[in-house]
Amino acid sequence: MEMGIVAGRVTATRKDDNLVGTKLLITQPIDLNGAPLNAQPIITVDTVGAGIGEKVIFVRGSMASRSMSNKDSPVDAAIVGIIDSLEYEDLKG
Amino acid sequence: MEMGIVAGRVTATRKDDNLVGTKLLITQPIDLNGAPLNAQPIITVDTVGAGIGEKVIFVRGSMASRSMSNKDSPVDAAIVGIIDSLEYEDLKG
Amino acid sequence: MEMGIVAGRVTATRKDDNLVGTKLLITQPIDLNGAPLNAQPIITVDTVGAGIGEKVIFVRGSMASRSMSNKDSPVDAAIVGIIDSLEYEDLKG
Amino acid sequence: MEMGIVAGRVTATRKDDNLVGTKLLITQPIDLNGAPLNAQPIITVDTVGAGIGEKVIFVRGSMASRSMSNKDSPVDAAIVGIIDSLEYEDLKG
Amino acid sequence: MEMGIVAGRVTATRKDDNLVGTKLLITQPIDLNGAPLNAQPIITVDTVGAGIGEKVIFVRGSMASRSMSNKDSPVDAAIVGIIDSLEYEDLKG
């Protein structure tokens, strides 16, 4: 999984039937210190109630669909947790 | 998921049986401002009726097949929504 | 999906039982103009009868196995169509 | 699979129901000599009892969920082994 | 699939139950001429009897598990063939 910060929201009226009712959030990947990485923000589904500005854990790929009540949803990125805290040693020094 | 803009169309007469009747669109990845990223355009299937020049949400990997009525289609990229609007804060400043 | 040009062939006598009889082609990723990208060629299975020099559509990841009659084949890249023509606008200018 | 070193731990109280009780470790990818790669640390689940500072084997993508007793867990990275030793020849010289 | 050369072996006593008895080889990605690419070696399972120094075909992602007799093995890379020969045209010139 990766860390990100919720940066916004996307509205799409015409969409796949299995995405109807889905909350689509723009998530910016961040490093362990919370700083934005030089990586494109991605569009994630959210089922844990994340809000703008919150630091989250997100999952990529087919397992993202496991977070949905509708397992047929064509999604490849999902917020699966909201980060309380991190403890780590920066091994890259 | 990622954002893109529909840039064209591919015609392929000889193809996998499970792709017959499929609409294959060329989609250019874009950033949050709608500007083309320095990334190769990809070939996406479309089941939401996207047209050339429209900004779309696309999904990569095996979940792309979930957007197809034929779940056996060998596809790894699919347009799953047409973007109406975005609200976001640019965290990369 | 991505575009490529068939550049060669691989022979492997000792291989996974589920790959026996499979045609393994070397495919070079190309851009929309047909020029080779600065990306490694990959080994793709082929079930659509592609020949050396033909421009093809290929799929990556687990969905590549859907193109095989033997769905248990351990393959992560497959040619799924032969390109007749493209119509597109180069948005990167 | 890839090699990494366990660098820390993430706490997330609000999370996907299928992640409750899961141990979330921060893993830094390393090279064959054990030196940190210039790659972002990732968040991995752990079911083999890895501790901070241990060198581990981790798997990415949907197969990471196979390491979980709950196969519905939305995870895309998992520690699946703790490295005792390596024997290899550095082919990049 | 990609090409690699087997460069070594990893020993891990503590590991996922579904990996017990698995042969874990270090595989260095190579180009069509057999020269090591500037890419990290990866850890692959082997079920075709590859030995150190042999040129192999490997598969990444969830399909790697299809090469295992135990389909629940959490693996994301597997050697699926040993290369006898290649015939190709270098399109990158």
| Domains of chain B from N-terminus onward | 2-82 (2.40.50.220)
Q: What pLDDT is stored for residue B37 in this prediction? A: 96
Q: What pLDDT is stored for residue A93 in this prediction? A: 61
Asked if residues B90 and B82 have their Cβ atoms less than 8 Å apart, the reply is: no
Element (H, E) at E46: strand E42-46
With 90 as the cut, is the pLDDT of residue D91 above it? no
- For chain D, first and last CA: distance in Å? 22
In order of B23, B48, C67, D77, E24, the CA distances from A1 in angstroms are 33, 29, 30, 6, 24
Give the pLDDT mean for A87-92: 84
Residues of C whose CB is below 8 A from B65: 63, 66
Residues of B whose CB is below 8 A from A19: 80-81
Distance between CA atoms of residues E59 and C16, nearest Å: 11
**Size (chain B), residues:** 93
Give the pLDDT mean for B45-69: 97
- For chain C, first and last CA: distance in Å? 22
Determine which of C11, C14, C52, C65 to mutate to test the interface with E (most E C-beta atoms within 10 Å).
Answer: C14
Q: What pLDDT is stored for residue E12 in this prediction? A: 97
Whether residues E75 and D63 touch (CB distance < 8 A) is answered with yes
Whether residues A59 and D52 touch (CB distance < 8 A) is answered with no
With 80 as the cut, is the pLDDT of residue A81 above it? yes
Q: Which two tokens stand for residue A85?
A: 């805290």
Q: What pLDDT is stored for residue B93 in this prediction? A: 61
Distance between CA atoms of residues B29 and B7, nearest Å: 10
Kindly report the backbone phi and psi dihedral angles of residue C61, in degrees, each rounded to the nearest multiple of 5, phi listed first. Answer: 85, -165
Of E19, B68, B18, A87, the residue nearest D79 (C-alpha): E19
Residues E42-53: tens digit of each pLDDT: 999 999 999 999
With 80 as the cut, is the pLDDT of residue D93 above it? no
pLDDT band at B71 (very low <50, low <70, confident <90, very high): confident
Q: What number of other Cβ atoms are within 10 A of residue D36's Cβ?
A: 17
Q: Which two tokens stand for residue E80?
A: 């699926």
Of A23-32, B28-37, D65-74, the range with the lowest mean pLDDT is D65-74
3-state secondary structure B12-53: CCCECHHHCCCCEEEEEEECCCCCECCCCCEEEEECCCCCCC
pLDDT band at A77 (very low <50, low <70, confident <90, very high): very high
pLDDT band at B83 (very low <50, low <70, confident <90, very high): very high
Of C13, C27, C23, C32, the residue nearest C67 (C-alpha): C23
Q: 13-52 in E: which are within 8 Å (CB) of C?
A: 29, 31-32, 37, 47-49
Give the ipTM.
0.95
With 80 as the cut, is the pLDDT of residue E71 above it? yes
Residues E73-83: tens digit of each pLDDT: 999 999 999 99
Q: Does the CA dihedral E61-E31-B75-B5 come out positive or negative?
A: positive
Residues A4-63: tens digit of each pLDDT: 999 999 999 999 999 999 999 999 999 999 999 999 999 999 999 999 999 999 999 999
With 90 as the cut, is the pLDDT of residue C67 above it? yes
Give the pLDDT mean for B21-36: 96
In order of C39, C53, D36, the CA distances from D52 in angstroms are 37, 52, 14
